[in-house]
Amino acid sequence: MARTPRETLLGGIVPEILRAADPAGLVSGVLGGGAPIGRCRAVAVGKAAAPMIGAAAGALGEQLEGAVVVAPPGGGHGPARAGLGRPGVEWLGADHPTPTPRNLAAAGRVRELVAGMGPGQTLLVLLSGGASAMLCLPREPLTLGDLASVTDALLRAGAPIGELNAVRKHCEVLKGGGLAAVRGAGGEGRIVSLILSDVLGDRLDVIGSGPTAPDPTTFADALGVLERRGALDASPAATDLLRRGAAGAEPETVKPGAPVWARVENRVIGSNRLALDAAAAACDAAGYAVLARREGVEGEAAVIGRELAAEARRLAAETGRRGAIVWGGETTVTVGDAPGLGGRNQELALACAIELDGVDGVTVLSFATDGRDGPTDAAGGVVDGSTAGAIRGAGIEPRDALARHDSYHALNRAGALVRTGPTGTNINDLMVALVG
């Protein structure tokens, strides 16, 4: 029996995307290919830290002389997931997206390991999505509470990741090239960073807030973000620090041209484009030729959802044949004071469902490749022309739910949530529409 479009999306296309984005395979492809590393210590931070360190340990063997791994607690992210429990590898849990005390402890331990390295050792940095929150060490006199307040305020204001990380870099120690500077103090030690990008455009200074990358942003840029997003009052101490920095009274982050960069190699080993390629190939293999492809999608989730639904309806009407639309990127949701629960992919899917109400022959999937969309247990949503009616049948008006940013409960009532569990990777979001 032929698969339905929903079955094709969830049972065929999503698994192929996640296979292509497997962090262990990507790390093995670099280190197993004979990349010269030599004696090294490793720092692995982010949602993919466990599989990345597992692959690195397998490829490097005795060359790996110690490591600190900072990963989300639970969810299969620990030593068992990596197949690694050997001595010298220290595992620390950290939270995302708002930093907590264990994030602070983990960042302090990372700094200790790097500061204690000898000149003959290479520092191997394995960086993936979520690292900005997890590698959290505030500049004096800021506290963890200051950083958490600023982070929450900017997230609720819909600040894109580049703006959020510009602020983080100037409020913290290890970001904006800070980790490289700690290693630089040890003399001639080399740094090799293998990076799984969760940032559109793969900007090295934005991925993980650039712990091993030059920072082109300034204190004035960071202060401007707080001003534009109405977040100057989120933490008076942070605002005061940024103002002092903008006046030249605080040391800037590590800029391009600093001597330390002669010893640093940053390499992006996976990104949203990789996921897009995998999605397009999987659609084609399932009999849905790709009719439209779009990279770097960003903006308000509901607006992008309406655009995707309109594009799908247009192509369905014009072509009259089976096909697919494949978009990749990362949208935002300006929540404000709305009381609802959801995430950017769920909001996008709900907006699609409203636009497709009663329309036959179009099915849309939007999901986060890390398996966690917003503060929920869902990765995203999958909708078609019947979804809005199913939501109404469950006693919820879809447009009201969208206005409240309550996409989770609306989609859940309609059986339209996508749940993958933590995937161990993170290369932004994928949106796929099947027509015909």
- Domain containing 257 — which CATH number? 3.40.50.10180
Give residue 233's pLDDT: 97
User: How far is 414 from 403, CA to CA, in rounded Å?
Assistant: 18
Give residue 75's pLDDT: 47
Looking at this protein, which amino acid is placed at residue 204? L
Q: Are residues 100 and 137 in the same domain?
A: yes
pLDDT per residue of the chain (436 residues) written in tens, 0 to 9: 679 999 999 999 999 999 999 999 999 999 986 667 889 999 999 999 999 999 999 999 989 999 999 998 864 455 555 556 666 899 999 998 888 999 999 999 999 999 999 888 999 999 999 999 999 999 999 999 999 999 999 988 989 889 999 999 999 999 999 999 999 865 568 999 999 999 999 999 999 999 999 999 999 999 999 999 999 999 999 999 999 999 999 999 999 999 999 999 999 999 999 999 999 999 999 999 999 999 999 999 999 999 999 999 999 998 888 999 999 999 999 988 888 999 999 999 999 999 999 999 999 999 999 999 999 999 999 999 999 999 999 999 999 999 999 999 999 999 999 999 989 898 999 999 999 8
User: How far is 189 from 373, CA to CA, in rounded Å?
Assistant: 38
Q: Which two tokens stand for residue 236?
A: 């008076």
Query: Nearest Cα to 279, choosing from 429, 382, 379, 422?
Result: 429
In a domain, 2, yes or no: no
Q: Are residues 415 and 308 in the same domain?
A: yes
Give residue 338's pLDDT: 81
Q: Are residues 174 and 201 in the same domain?
A: yes
Give residue 120's pLDDT: 87
- What residues pair up with 332 in beta bridges, in sequence order? 300
Q: Are residues 232 and 182 in the same domain?
A: yes
In a domain, 149, yes or no: yes
Q: Are residues 313 and 363 in the same domain?
A: yes
In a domain, 17, yes or no: no
Q: Are residues 187 and 289 in the same domain?
A: no
Q: Are residues 253 and 374 in the same domain?
A: no
In a domain, 12, yes or no: no
Give residue 86's pLDDT: 65
Q: Are residues 200 and 308 in the same domain?
A: no
Domain count along the chain: 2
The residue assigned the tokens 């004696």 is 39
Q: Are residues 176 and 53 in the same domain?
A: yes
pTM: predicted TM-score of the whole model, two decimal places: 0.88
Of 241, 270, 299, the residue that ends a domain is 270
Of 253, 270, 287, the residue that ends a domain is 270
In a domain, 198, yes or no: yes
Of 231, 252, 270, the residue that ends a domain is 270
The residue assigned the tokens 């692959």 is 55
User: How far is 278 from 5, CA to CA, in rounded Å?
Assistant: 17
Q: Which two tokens stand for residue 408?
A: 């989770």
Q: Are residues 218 and 184 in the same domain?
A: yes
Q: Are residues 173 and 199 in the same domain?
A: yes
Say which residues have a Cβ less than 8 Å from residue 218's Cβ, sequence separation at least 6. 170, 245, 246, 252
Give residue 77's pLDDT: 53
CATH number of the domain at 332, please: 3.40.1480.10
In a domain, 15, yes or no: no
Residue 215: φ, ψ to 5°: -110, 115
Residue 384, domain extent: 273-435
Q: Are residues 287 and 239 in the same domain?
A: no
